[in-house]
Amino acid sequence: MPSYSDLVFLSAAAQAKLVRQRAISPVDLVQACLARIERYDPVLRAYITVCAEQALAEARQAEGEIAAGTYRGPLHGIPFGVKDQLCTRGIRTTVGSRIKADYVPDFDATVIARLKAAGAILIGKENLHEFGKGGTHVFPYGQPRNPWDPDRNPGSSSSGSGIAPAAGFCSSSLGEDTGGSVRGPAAACSVVGLRPTFGRVSRHGGVMYGWTADTIGPLTRTVEDNALFLQAVAGYDAGDPLTSKRPVPDYAAALRLDLQGLRLAVVREMSWPDGVHPEVRRAFEQALAVLKELGAELTEVSLPWAKHAIPLNMMTSDADVASMYVPLLRTRWNDFDIGTRTRMATAALVPASIYSRAMRARAVVRGQILAALRSHDALLSPTNLKPPALIEDAREKVESQADVAQRLILRRISTHPFGTANTPTLALPMGFTQDGLPLSLQIAGRPFAEETVFRIGHAYERATPWHARHPDLERTLHAYLRHDETARV
């Protein structure tokens, strides 16, 4: 059997192969993950709740089923984590807030139920900032840290869901993305994150923020793993009337295709704006060269309204949140973080006429993106235009237009437009800076064409080494850990 340190960094697909062959057991996998969590999560804070006893019990059950010849498929016995805004039967769901500290649902969100039916094992509930709408420094259950550099931001709001697969706490997580909350942590932690098409995955049982844009998507170590998890959770659900009845394709089949004949376009405004970090630019140019060598045809397009997606998406999603939380604001005002309650209360004052105009403007952004996709198979940009920022920088006040440009526009210009357009968008590792900080490539496709973004991402991944690199937590967390050989995992 591989060592625990090797086992936890295998892809879910590789783990599944060993489980099916009975070379390792689900109990081995869960114990390996729990050992990593015990050692490193007091620093990284990926989890709000760890389900150790339940996970071990489910692992023993999976082990018995597989030994008896009942194999449910490639997720049987594979540990996963979920952002703590998805309801889990018998396990508290805090939504990152002390207000919900004692909320224990009596049902599973649809995506959780589907993963459990596939045999996957829930190992824990992952950290996020308060209600997903607090500032990037508002974490009532502990400040999450980037496994590549603990002084750096791990991305938000699905922070723990990005940290966990990167740190070897589980092979895969589920997060939620409104304007970049899956793709941002994926980029910062050097994993693969998908924002599926709006309506591809049920949101029933999720404590959602922006009903007009929210999606639930997987964060994984490889594109293949991402396809496996999407396959398990995608499809119509009567519990969420906004899910689509379109058939779910075989995503794994797309991974066998090359890039010959595909037309890809670089989005000018999202790739080359003033302020893009030189190492991001260099890595992106190298990624484009790889895609061209793989047979794709590359062009460039302009989306003039892309920059407007940031305020439009933020305002409408904040207003969606406020519509749900106004009663709670009235009764628990002092229990909210000041930043969270200010943001929600301000959004609650947005007139319906302004909200309606913003939704019409969002349609313009979507129209420009869909027009570009009519003549191209996918659109490309860096996921983030700068490497992960220092955590302390996120705590500085925004006091000028220059601050807004640095702290807001450059951080969100690449992710918010596709969130506004509700198109499938994949973030995957694109390299590292000279200081070892992750960089990420973003691929956006036509609505319900997840198989195309998987096809492109998988081909790029196979041609590059980035997905195979993992953080050495003993080194990166050295200043934070107790140092004795028996603690190492």
C-alpha–C-alpha distance, residues 187 and 388, integer Å: 8
Residue 132 resides in a domain:
yes
The pLDDT value recorded for residue 485 is 47
- Torsion angle in degrees (nearest 10) through CA of 83, 84, 87, 92: 150
- Active-site amino acid positions: 83, 157, 181
Domain of 355, CATH number, reads 3.90.1300.10
Give me the count of residues in the chain. 489
Residue 265 resides in a domain:
yes
What sign does the CA torsion over 341, 345, 348, 351 have?
negative
How do the pLDDT tens digits run along the chain, 489 residues long? Answer: 677 678 999 999 999 999 999 999 999 999 999 999 999 999 999 999 999 999 999 999 999 999 999 999 999 999 999 999 999 999 999 999 999 999 999 999 999 999 999 999 999 999 999 998 866 578 999 999 999 999 999 999 999 999 999 999 999 999 999 999 999 999 999 999 999 999 999 999 998 777 888 999 999 999 999 999 999 999 999 999 999 999 999 999 999 999 999 999 999 999 988 889 999 999 999 999 999 999 999 999 999 999 899 989 989 999 998 988 889 999 999 999 888 899 899 999 999 999 999 999 999 999 999 999 999 999 999 999 999 999 988 766 666 766 666 667 777 889 999 999 999 999 999 999 999 999 999 999 999 999 999 999 999 999 999 999 999 999 999 989 865 444 555
The pLDDT value recorded for residue 188 is 98
Q: Contact 228/194 with Cβ under 8 angstroms?
A: no
Residue 2 resides in a domain:
no
Peptide bond into 157 cis (omega under 30): yes
Residue 3 resides in a domain:
no
User: What are the tokens at 64?
Assistant: 């018995």
Overall domain count for the chain: 1
Residue 237 resides in a domain:
yes
The pLDDT value recorded for residue 459 is 99
Residue 376 resides in a domain:
yes
Instruction: Provide the residue type at 356 as one letter.
Output: S
C-alpha–C-alpha distance, residues 16 and 65, integer Å: 14
Among the listed residues 172, 286, 180, 156, the one whose alpha carbon sits nearest the alpha carbon of residue 218: 172
Q: Where are the alpha helices (DSSP H) in 375-436?
A: 391-394, 401-404, 410-412, 416-421
Residue 16 resides in a domain:
no
Helix axes 26-44, 12-20, angle to 10 degrees: 150
Range of the domain at 385: 27-487
Residue 201 resides in a domain:
yes
The pLDDT value recorded for residue 151 is 97
